[in-house]
Structure 1
């Protein structure tokens, strides 16, 4: 009797090498994520943050559901943080399972805002990942990551302190310049015509026309509120 060629017939409940790996990969669902990037002024760019986080998501097979981009001070009130609010909306709706940020300071430089955001995400079962330390708030089991919690508290405090230190240095530098008799700001006697002012401050004009308040426009553009107010008046006159 001639022998029949060996045939591997899969049986129910038995995993075979090769086909099992492929099937597991096919069954594994990609995790939907949201990328949150922030800069304080229009003079700064989010390119590096976005590039690093996009590469990380691609490397781990995540699906980027949406990118929330903000140009706003890290000390802004929660009501002014449209990016944070949008990310939270996606979390509450179950659209994303993770929120990716580059570092804790990009999330906020106010402890109350940063911690409230994380707690809201945890309540939705959504994890916050920050790239600078490659750590996230939830473990694969869905439970809180104790190490991440401790690190987040420390880094959020440092982010707040960094801004206060920067402000103090700026004030100290200005006081020293005044002590030496140096003039700060625009040269005395210089006056811009209305067209020249609107041309010089095109970023302010764009923000004001978009409906932003004077205070918010000043924060985004990095220009003094008095300058924004003058531009707003020039717009009314030129209209």
Structure 2
């Protein structure tokens, strides 16, 4: 059984050695072979597409046919519920189980099916995420209504068109992932950018995107 260890701390003054040591001991006790370890010092509130080590880890486990990713606790994947759910769902879809040490559960069973206990946990997280989205939407709607009530205009100015340079700057991460051959669907999951927008970016800036993507496995 090959596993990858993943650790995260929020600030530069913190150290992730304790997490790696705990996970190394856990792997030895269970007879798991450690294929690689990934560690990052980054706020858990950052989006997945801003987390270089997380992206490298997900790419590595797929390319090297890793069976399991191990973390000390769920918050090591991030503190943003939506971002954590994305990682779990992405790993599940690829048949890669996530072992969460403090809960002593895995997201997948030995036959690759979703673990009922982890599904219960994910369901709770999904409901929390839904409530967060609802709260954000209500705040935005309230802000728009107040802005309009005071004579404000919402939307782009008529005839407005974003320059190529502005698009390159705004969608720099999306373009970088597309250049590396990541599929439109997975780039959309990681960055929350619509597939239609990604397709336009690919056509506009990456005329040879199809050939790039065909040279490697879809992420």
Q: TM-score scaled to structure 1, two decimals?
A: 0.51
> Do residues 57 (structure 1) and 27 (structure 2) align?
yes
Q: Residue 105 of structure 1 corresponds to which residue in structure 2? A: 75
Q: Residue 134 of structure 1 corresponds to which residue in structure 2? A: 104
1:86-124 deviations in whole A, cap 9, x for unaligned? 221122214311000110111111122111111111111
1:61-106 deviations in whole A, cap 9, x for unaligned? 1111111100000000111112221221122214311000110111
Q: Residue 132 of structure 1 aligns to a residue in which SS?
A: coil
> Do residues 35 (structure 1) and 19 (structure 2) align?
no
- 1:54-133 counterparts in 2 under 5 A? 54-133=24-103
TM-superposed CA distance for 1:154, in Å, is 3.8
Larger Rg: 1
Task: Give, in whole Å, the separation in 1 of the partners of 2:80 and 2:55.
Answer: 15
Q: Give the alignment's Cα RMSD to 1 decimal.
A: 2.0
Task: Give, in whole Å, the separation in 2 of the partners of 1:65 and 1:36.
Answer: 11
Whether the aligned pair in 2 keeps the contact of 1:128 and 1:137 (CA below 8 Å) is yes
Whether the aligned pair in 2 keeps the contact of 1:125 and 1:142 (CA below 8 Å) is yes
Task: Give, in whole Å, the separation in 2 of the partners of 1:85 and 1:51.
Answer: 22
Q: TM-score scaled to structure 2, two decimals?
A: 0.55
1:139-174 deviations in whole A, cap 9, x for unaligned? 11111002112224546859xx9xxxxxxxxxxxxx
- Runs of 5+ consecutive residues of structure 2 not aligned to the other structure: 133-219
Task: Give, in whole Å, the separation in 2 of the partners of 1:152 and 1:47.
Answer: 28
Task: Give, in whole Å, the separation in 1 of the partners of 2:105 and 2:77.
Answer: 14
- Runs of 5+ consecutive residues of structure 1 not aligned to the other structure: 1-30, 162-239
Cα distance change, pair 67–42 in 1 and its aligned pair in 2 (3 A): same
